[in-house]
Amino acid sequence: MWKKSLCLLIPCVLIAYYCYAPIPHEIEQHWELMMIWSFMRIQMHIAPLFEMLGFRPFPLLEILVVPPTSDENVTVTDTLFNNVPVRVFVPKQKSSTLRRAVFYIHGGGWVTGSAAWDPYDELGRWMVERLDAVVVSTDYRLSPQYHFPTQFEDVYDALRWFLRKKVLAEYGVDPSRICIAGDSAGGNLVAAVNQKLLNDPEIKIKVKIQSLIYPVLQALDMDLPSHRENIHMVIVEKEHLVEFWSRYFTSDKALLEAMVANQHTPVESSHLFKFVNWSTLLPERFKKGHVYTTPIHGPSELAKKYPGFLDVRASPLLANDSILRRLPLTHILTCQYDVVRDDGLMYLSRLRAAGVRVVHEHVEDGFHGILSFGSSLINFRAGKREVNKYLKWLKENL
């Protein structure tokens, strides 16, 4: 009898482990979110097995890929911009004037994601229909096969190609109405490429708006208040965030272990902590009585082997004020129940202090990835609401 009970108990425990999540009561549709979260957790746990077998770490997510299908409103094509794959959405209706444009960078922790995923494909179509915009949704090579700075360079190469006058004219784009936008790791790349554009003598086009949607912006301090509060939050737990960061730079477990302990930054780089010091950069309401602890310094050898985490192209929060003050109108979206919430809030503080015009939307009942949850495939009410607000703001300001 006890063997039968044990056989029943084990699967019940496993189901409870994968399905349960400490979802705050402010977030609606608990059960739907828990089911999606359980699928994602399974993906995370079986990813190492697929890697050992020589496959991409998240093959089950390939079910999200949709072909480039045109309809009565939009022409959709997959093409290459400077050898980088992009999906381009162009309105079918003829226009007597040049159109606005959005260059979009998908998220996925630099390890997964695609412009061909259904939520990103649908977002591109919505931007065409509601903004009458040309939309370029770019891909980039992913870790663990490729590490930093490959992802940054791919996106930057595609963007530079798009910003050429000849290409903008081909797509009927108004050079004065261009937005670079992205979510999560894509938000990181948005911030990084915009900073790089400022000192590129070959780029004459000035971007009008940069839009960072729940961006991850620094790899120095892995002990922010949002890390503590949302350590086991749905969609991205702290352990996943640290692993994504580590994989961005290397497959060497030594860096992962040091980042988990928050002991990876060498003493000779301690001056950089002033750029990510949450005790001075976060608004009071987000500190919530947390006590700031200066991270313990790590071995210099680690930073010498993998200097990427100290590179401003990977951690845009490390940029000097002389760079920040030259940035365009910036839109930042943060979510209360998001492990990377404080990265966006600190960038907000630094940009405003540098004199940059910043529009901030904080979603009190939001979690990481909420805009993608507004797609028809997932159909979360809060996600739909935030997508509508976001597109309305873009239409009014771009």
Query: Active-site positions?
Result: 184, 338, 368
Phi, psi of 187 (to 5 degrees): -65, -35
Residue 224, both tokens: 């922010």
Please answer whether residues 206 and 338 qualify as being in contact, where contact means their C-beta atoms are separated by less than 8 angstroms: no
In angstroms, the CA 41 to CA 220 distance is 26
Which of these, 76, 134, 86, 145, lies nearest to 111 by C-alpha position? 145
Composition of the chain by helix, strand, coil, percent to 5: 45, 15, 35
Phi, psi of 11 (to 5 degrees): -65, -30
Please answer whether residues 48 and 57 qualify as being in contact, where contact means their C-beta atoms are separated by less than 8 angstroms: yes
In angstroms, the CA 349 to CA 385 distance is 26
* Burial bucket for residue 297 (CB in 10 Å: 0-12, 13-18, 19+): middle
In angstroms, the CA 179 to CA 190 distance is 10
In angstroms, the CA 11 to CA 13 distance is 5
Residue with tokens 């015009």: 357
In angstroms, the CA 227 to CA 238 distance is 6
Please answer whether residues 327 and 301 qualify as being in contact, where contact means their C-beta atoms are separated by less than 8 angstroms: no
In angstroms, the CA 120 to CA 184 distance is 13
Phi, psi of 371 (to 5 degrees): -65, -40
Residue 97, both tokens: 């004037």
